[in-house]
Amino acid sequence: MSKANIVFLNNKAMAELGAADMSAVINDVERVYVLNNEGDVIAPGKCVMRWGKTVEDENTLGRINAMPGYIGGEYDMAGIKWIGSGPQNYKKGLPRASVTIILNDPDTKLPLCVADGTEVSTMRTGASGGVAIKYLAKSDAKIMTICGAGAQAPTQLEAALIGRPSIDTVYVYDIRPENAERFAKATMEKYPHIKATAVSDIEAAVRESDIIDCVTLASEPFIKGEWLKKGTLVMNMADYEVDNECVKRSSKVVVDYWENVKHRMISTVALMWKDGLFKDEDLHAELGEIVKGAKAPRENDEEIIYFNAVGAGIMDIAVTARCYKNALKDGKGITLPYWE
């Protein structure tokens, strides 16, 4: 009987193998959008194990999600993302999210790799924002407001600067002002050409902004559609962060995966759909349709565009598959006998 090995890749190995390369991750995410649109994926959806009974409970007590899938194309890999979210972990000096990814051979179905996917998850979420900005933001966008100065903020900004190098002003808003101050300072140290400012007046920041990127745990909207200027891209990247008027005023409503958005049922457009205020036919496109060229991206500088992303495990599988193949080529990671 043949033997089978399994490769273990910890967080350091994954970073060395390309998980921390935002340009490469953006390329992975774009390819996943296209492959998904072409039907070259298997994405059964997300299984959510929640603590508590309400959204408020979940945002306090946390959850663990299982996200299986298969991604075709040049990746040709099956796997599962297993992600724990502990909102109170910061009190213990621990990261809010911890991710383990298992890759399986799509032929034999045997596991090939167990990898830390914590950075993968953060990077691919940032990359999703970067891809959205590439296709949906004004070509000369200069002012960006980031709402939520947590783990997602640095990768959202990094990806945004790849999508729109013209950005030179960043406003940072957080319910914990000290977090906003810390992130603004770190931003200017990393990107000297950017003026980053922590703000308490979110309305004033939004009224100036070309891009508004929300990565928070908000359970009530704090961005109002009446504040949006013409040409704004509103990015609802996490929870219930923007009001209905942001969607109503938008010339185009774009999402990453519409069925996933409705299943997650936590973002503004999903809740509007539930209440009959937004219909399937009102959706302009999934982002993959735009990347592939089947639907129009931004067409002028007057359009207000709303984008909502919930993500999918196939993104993490694609990034991890690339890193795993690099590990085999470079001889990195810890190889263990799985079947003897």
Give catalytic residues, as residue numbers: 81
Distances (CA, A) of 248 to 224, 303, 308, 316: 11, 12, 14, 32
Token pair recorded at residue 111: 């596991």
Q: Which residues of 284-309 are buried (b: 16+ CB within 10 A; e: fewer)?
A: bbbbbbbbbeebebbeeeebbbbbbb
Q: Tell me which residue has tokens 């033997």.
A: 3
Residues 6 or more apart in contact with residue 134 via CB below 8 angstroms = 162, 163, 164
Residues 6 or more apart in contact with residue 302 via CB below 8 angstroms = 230, 231, 251
The values of phi and psi at residue 287, to 5°, are -60, -35
- HSE-CB for 123 with a 13 A CA cutoff: 27
Distances (CA, A) of 39 to 32, 33, 255, 259: 10, 10, 17, 14
CA angle 104/108/113 to nearest 5° reads 25
d(CA 88, CA 108): 40
**What is the dihedral sign for C-alpha 217, 221, 225, 226?**
negative
The values of phi and psi at residue 246, to 5°, are -60, -40
